[in-house]
Structure 1
């Protein structure tokens, strides 16, 4: 089998309403969808975490892989990606992330050729129902959606998710640079949702160490399952650990520093950012050996989410629910997408490979959105047009 062509399509998929995060208003995602074609008619699907990685695939990776055996992933990587020690040292690791996005498609091809779903290629399922959190945040109103701009409105939203979808796992960003607002919102959430609900928080590094000490002290009585990136560095998290029993997580996949410093406790990663499914499995195994937890990222479309489902299904070490923004996504690029959880879980796909197929009409629609509007900016601060928000917020 040989790779005959690689197609990259940029798409925008907006949220029903934007949400506030540390860098401004986040309106949705601009992704690159990858299709890897073979001379035997098998097509593999991949997804890049942001559209500019698709440009790297088009310009650098695709020419190197034409004629390669898609089942020989090591050879494909050797054609495209320099040694990680060098790319990390020179700041040129975007090629590693771009290849990681395409590598999903190679696993998809492998599963289709071997006539089995990806989780079986990875060793078999230890679970078939994969848990995800609901997400909450301060969201301005947009065409009847959103409007959760007060603690009470966020509580009402979470109660609605509990009533309509059986949700009891919740995670959110309460990012307005106001510690008292976050503390009040968490107190009201715990009172409304009860002691059994899972509550996780994410500040996107908004707090200074001094403010974080205070905020986490006030939050401890409300049984916070995890706080993601409360401060900007692992060193500050290690210092914060002296003052708080709340576990910490991060998107920064530096396992050596986390082990050396004792914090953070969990990694929350996109598979492409780790270099693909193969490298993700190695990273998770290393986390297990070092006693660090792992779960999956949010704001991905159906192809990457399918990869999450299969890997979590096949990995006993991943016991915590992964993040999700599924409820806010107004569309997807896969048939029957986006995935959405019921009673906190989504079933792992049973189709071959990743088990998902592209929706042709949806691809046209969301690619058209990208062409018409350009990539979506998640660094927009309406209060300071043309300027980036600076950290910490408080």
Structure 2
């Protein structure tokens, strides 16, 4: 079997309403859907985390024409220069571009042998994967602590949700503390509450906030400050675990924090490298769970890897409830009682919805990529961190 063509289609996946984050408004995400075509009619699906890697994916497609798609290692050495260089001193888009293609190669492998991806990874240790509901300040929707509490209670009533994560980012520490207090009172002692600051706080402000949050049993706080070194300083004042999107395991082990990584598989270079990274985290006692805001292809990869990996114990992040569309049939995934079943079909177990792909590609071509850094309070200017 040979690779005959690689298609790369940029798409927008908007949210039903933007959410405030440390960069401004977050209106949704822009991705690239990758299709690796073969001379036997088998097509593998992959997904890139951002659209700036489109030229790199297309160049890799030209390079890989004629390669055996089952030879993932051979495809990697044809596309990715020395790993240490591209990760640390070069453009990381090379890693993300091949990571998206590599996901599609695993999908092909599963389809060739007619088995789900989790079987290729050694079998599954769980049938359902946990995800959190998300909350935050959304213009026109939840813009007060009481509104956020009402939203989370409605998710519990409608969908059985008891695990929640959110961004309380309006630049006011007292507002964050008040919201968490009301959430804990309303949801009870057993609900999971995780926070994500997106590096918005200074070290001094973070110390004050975490001290006030101590009694509310916050399960995890993601990127409360801007660096690992600041997290290490913050650790001396708080027992709340920290997580980050920056996958630097050596620094985390050396500094004793963050406690967990939360990232996208393509960012790590694909499924194979993600499995090795998670194994290294296990050896070092560092947690791992999966990113949010992806389309259904990458989410399917999360489901299979989480099913096959005992070490992933915490619920992964989820914006599923807010996504207004997807590129797979039946998408977006939706959790019930905190869980999503693992797909059972061959490979990733999902099917591309060609009509939906065309629709969200047109959204991209008509509007451009979704802007994560628009601040309506300061049009035309980017924010600077920390906010307080």
Q: Bin the TM-score by the shorter chain.
A: over 0.9
Report the equivalent of 1:44: 44
Report the equivalent of 1:164: 158
- Cα RMSD of the aligned pairs, angstroms, is 0.6
Q: Distance in 1 between matches of 2:85 and 2:299?
A: 30
Q: Distance in 2 between matches of 1:188 and 1:300?
A: 30
Secondary structure of the equivalent of 1:6? strand
Q: Distance in 2 between matches of 1:214 and 1:71?
A: 53
Secondary structure of the equivalent of 2:379? coil
Does 2:143 match 1:149?
yes
Secondary structure of the equivalent of 1:227? strand
Does 2:382 match 1:388?
yes
Report the equivalent of 2:72: 73
Q: Distance in 2 between matches of 1:345 and 1:220?
A: 28
Deviation at 1:90, TM superposition (A): 2.2
Q: Distance in 2 between matches of 1:114 and 1:391?
A: 49
Q: Distance in 1 between matches of 2:181 and 2:51?
A: 38
Secondary structure of the equivalent of 1:224? coil
Does 2:323 match 1:324?
no
Q: Distance in 1 between matches of 2:3 and 2:88?
A: 31
Report the equivalent of 1:200: 194
Residue deviations 1:11-33 (CA, integer Å, cap 9, x gap): 11111000000000011111100
Report the equivalent of 2:105: 106
Does 2:252 match 1:271?
no
Deviation at 1:367, TM superposition (A): 0.7
Q: Does the CA-based 8 Å contact 1:84-1:93 persist in structure 2?
A: no
Report the equivalent of 1:82: 81
Q: Distance in 2 between matches of 1:183 and 1:356?
A: 41
Secondary structure of the equivalent of 2:267? helix
Q: Does the CA-based 8 Å contact 1:227-1:247 persist in structure 2?
A: yes
Q: Distance in 1 between matches of 2:269 and 2:118?
A: 18
Q: Does the CA-based 8 Å contact 1:229-1:249 persist in structure 2?
A: yes
Q: Distance in 2 between matches of 1:301 and 1:229?
A: 23
Deviation at 1:54, TM superposition (A): 2.4
Q: Distance in 2 between matches of 1:207 and 1:381?
A: 17
Q: Does the CA-based 8 Å contact 1:296-1:308 persist in structure 2?
A: yes
Q: Does the CA-based 8 Å contact 1:70-1:106 persist in structure 2?
A: yes
Q: Does the CA-based 8 Å contact 2:10-2:364 persist in structure 1?
A: yes
Residue deviations 1:81-120 (CA, integer Å, cap 9, x gap): 0111111342322101110011100000000001100000
Q: Distance in 2 between matches of 1:237 and 1:90?
A: 24
Report the equivalent of 2:30: 30
Deviation at 1:128, TM superposition (A): 0.6
Secondary structure of the equivalent of 2:360? helix
Q: Distance in 2 between matches of 1:52 and 1:86?
A: 20
Q: Distance in 2 between matches of 1:13 and 1:382?
A: 21
Residue deviations 1:231-276 (CA, integer Å, cap 9, x gap): 0000000010000000000000000000000000000010000000
Matched residues, number: 388
Query: In the alignment, which of 198, 215, 218 is matched to residue 224 of structure 1?
Result: 218
Judge which range, 44-53 or 158-167, deviates more. 44-53
Q: Matches of residues 1-394 of structure 1 in structure 2 within 5 Å?
A: 1-58=1-58, 60-141=59-140, 147-394=141-388
Q: Which segments of 5 or more consecutive residues in structure 2 lack a partner in the other structure?
A: none
Q: Distance in 2 between matches of 1:224 and 1:90?
A: 37
Report the equivalent of 1:144: none
Q: Distance in 2 between matches of 1:92 and 1:365?
A: 31
Q: Does the CA-based 8 Å contact 2:87-2:95 persist in structure 1?
A: no
Q: Does the CA-based 8 Å contact 1:209-1:231 persist in structure 2?
A: yes
Secondary structure of the equivalent of 1:199? strand
Q: Does the CA-based 8 Å contact 2:100-2:266 persist in structure 1?
A: yes
Secondary structure of the equivalent of 1:31? strand
Q: Does the CA-based 8 Å contact 2:16-2:324 persist in structure 1?
A: yes
**TM-score, normalising length: structure 2:** 0.99
Q: Distance in 1 between matches of 2:178 and 2:289?
A: 27
